[in-house]
Chain A
């Protein structure tokens, strides 16, 4: 019994050595992790910018279009709203891997910058989901807040910026954090277009060592640790934001 345990332990230690220590293979994981974080971070930035713009266009259209004075502004809003609708339909209606491959093979043909391509692809994808999150956030704010802002003399955009968006942001923060976590995990398909992210790093080790269990377990553990860390961070932020309102 003791011997069996000892030999199991020795096997595990040997596997661990092969997978991570030998030829410094652990570096595949660390560089992969840094690429995953970089892609996720920039994708989130792009996604939030796209998301806010689309959410503003779409909620403005719903709230204001009928009341607007006829003219160039009204036409622009209608066109912008139409484009946003098409974008949302296409992005949410196709798999992210396909979008990634289209961007890699068809659009960024001359670029080999995997991080850039990953960030742009996942950013464009995430933007569609973030847009809907922000839109529901804006629509959830009582119309009285808009009216109070407008009655003080703020124009529509100022009212959004100073009064509505800060409240909407607070309301959607948990959903937005969830989107970030989904995004973090979703970037694991970046390996499809030869980006060396965390998952790809584990896969390279698997290929080189013929070991399946250790590298994949390590990759899973790192994702899990990241997700738990960010969840905690968001909880703290959320509590801070709400502190004053009670």
Chain B
């Protein structure tokens, strides 16, 4: 981790249904380069909405998000260029079912980065080897297990060589015995110095891998600190209640 602020969030607000639902209220946060930030909180706390605002999959109602010092909520900014640098992994994998694994991984590098097929496939194969799925390169997503799909989803995002990876409850849709293999890949990624923002219910992962933990409730950041601070000596009553339930 270094001191460079990669993502700076200022006064972020998100309303749904014309202001009836306030999903996020005045969120301020910084994500430093090389840092692993884990966002925890009860369901409906706005943590997924917060994550999805970071690459503008949800368009904020108010506030600014600076990525590499550029305000990506500015209407004149081409968000597509910035999204290339922000990998995202979804709860339900969202692999492209009509393409092979290799096709899934090389589509964006070929079409968006102008890489040659050979170049893109070489990079994809190298990543597949790292997650132990090189032998499935020509399989289709429906032929893989949930854990395998999620590992593919991670390396598909990595093929774009992103500066930050956003994880939206990556293990929530998995059978319990497959959670480990996905967390293992994420752990490795963290050790390699990737900047990561992870929304998860895996408290073990948050404690072990997280550099910083953000606890959210009711659309606000209630408390943030090192895993040690949050898990061992939480200050807020709301945090204590939540941890008492999940730990």
Instruction: Establish whether residues B111 and A245, one from each chain, have CB atoms under 8 Å apart when the complex forms.
Output: no
CA of A158 to CA of B83 in the docked complex: distance in angstroms? 14
Q: B97 on the interface (CB 8 Å rule)?
A: yes
Question: Which listed residue (B81, B86, B94, B112) contacts A148, Cβ 8 A?
Answer: B94
Question: Which listed residue (A147, A153, A245) contacts B112, Cβ 8 A?
Answer: A153
Instruction: Establish whether residues B57 and A153, one from each chain, have CB atoms under 8 Å apart when the complex forms.
Output: no
Question: Which listed residue (A148, A153, A245) contacts B90, Cβ 8 A?
Answer: A148
Q: For B84, what are the chain A residues with a Cβ–Cβ distance below 8 Å? A: 152-153
Residues A145-173 near B (CB distance < 8 A) = 145, 147-148, 150-155, 158, 162-163, 166-167, 170
Answer whether A152 and B108 are a contact pair too, CB < 8 Å, given A144-B90, A245-B140. yes
CA of A116 to CA of B176 in the docked complex: distance in angstroms? 63
Q: A246 on the interface (CB 8 Å rule)?
A: yes
B3 to chain A, nearest CB (A): 27
A151 to chain B, nearest CB (A): 4
Instruction: Name the residue of chain B whose CB is nearest to the CB of A143.
Output: B94
Q: For B143, what are the chain A residues with a Cβ–Cβ distance below 8 Å? A: 246
Instruction: Name the residue of chain A whose CB is nearest to the CB of B140.
Output: A244
Instruction: Name the residue of chain A whose CB is nearest to the CB of B97.
Output: A245
Q: For A69, what are the chain B residues with a Cβ–Cβ distance below 8 Å? A: 75
CA of A177 to CA of B55 in the docked complex: distance in angstroms? 40
Residues B135-162 near A (CB distance < 8 A) = 140, 142-143, 156-157, 160
Q: For A144, what are the chain B residues with a Cβ–Cβ distance below 8 Å? A: 90, 92, 94
Q: For A3, what are the chain B residues with a Cβ–Cβ distance below 8 Å? A: none
CA of A246 to CA of B142 in the docked complex: distance in angstroms? 7
Chain A count of residues within 8 A CB distance of the other chain: 22
Q: For A6, what are the chain B residues with a Cβ–Cβ distance below 8 Å? A: none
CA of A244 to CA of B143 in the docked complex: distance in angstroms? 9
Residues A193-246 near B (CB distance < 8 A) = 244-246
Question: Which listed residue (B88, B96, B107) contacts A145, Cβ 8 A?
Answer: B96
Instruction: Establish whether residues A162 and B80, one from each chain, have CB atoms under 8 Å apart when the complex forms.
Output: no
Instruction: Establish whether residues B111 and A162, one from each chain, have CB atoms under 8 Å apart when the complex forms.
Output: yes
Q: B1 on the interface (CB 8 Å rule)?
A: no
Q: B98 on the interface (CB 8 Å rule)?
A: yes
Question: Which listed residue (B96, B98, B100, B108) contacts A153, Cβ 8 A?
Answer: B108
CA of A223 to CA of B141 in the docked complex: distance in angstroms? 41
Answer whether A244 and B157 are a contact pair too, CB < 8 Å, given A144-B92, A148-B94, A155-B80. no
Instruction: Establish whether residues B94 and A154, one from each chain, have CB atoms under 8 Å apart when the complex forms.
Output: no
CA of A152 to CA of B89 in the docked complex: distance in angstroms? 10
Instruction: Establish whether residues B140 and A153, one from each chain, have CB atoms under 8 Å apart when the complex forms.
Output: no
Q: B133 on the interface (CB 8 Å rule)?
A: no
Instruction: Establish whether residues B98 and A151, one from each chain, have CB atoms under 8 Å apart when the complex forms.
Output: no
26 A-B Cβ contacts within 8 A? Answer: A144-B92, A151-B55, A151-B83, A151-B90, A151-B157, A152-B107, A152-B108, A152-B112, A152-B156, A152-B157, A152-B160, A153-B80, A153-B83, A153-B108, A154-B108, A155-B80, A162-B111, A163-B107, A167-B96, A167-B97, A170-B98, A244-B98, A244-B100, A245-B98, A245-B140, A246-B143
Residues on B close to A: CB < 8 A? Answer: 55, 57, 59, 75, 80-81, 83-84, 86-88, 90, 92, 94-98, 100, 107-108, 111-112, 140, 142-143, 156-157, 160
Q: A147-B90, A150-B80, A244-B98 are in contact. List 19 more A-B contacts (CB 8 A).
A: A67-B59, A148-B94, A150-B57, A150-B83, A151-B83, A151-B86, A151-B87, A152-B108, A152-B112, A152-B156, A152-B157, A153-B80, A153-B81, A153-B84, A153-B112, A154-B111, A154-B112, A246-B142, A246-B143
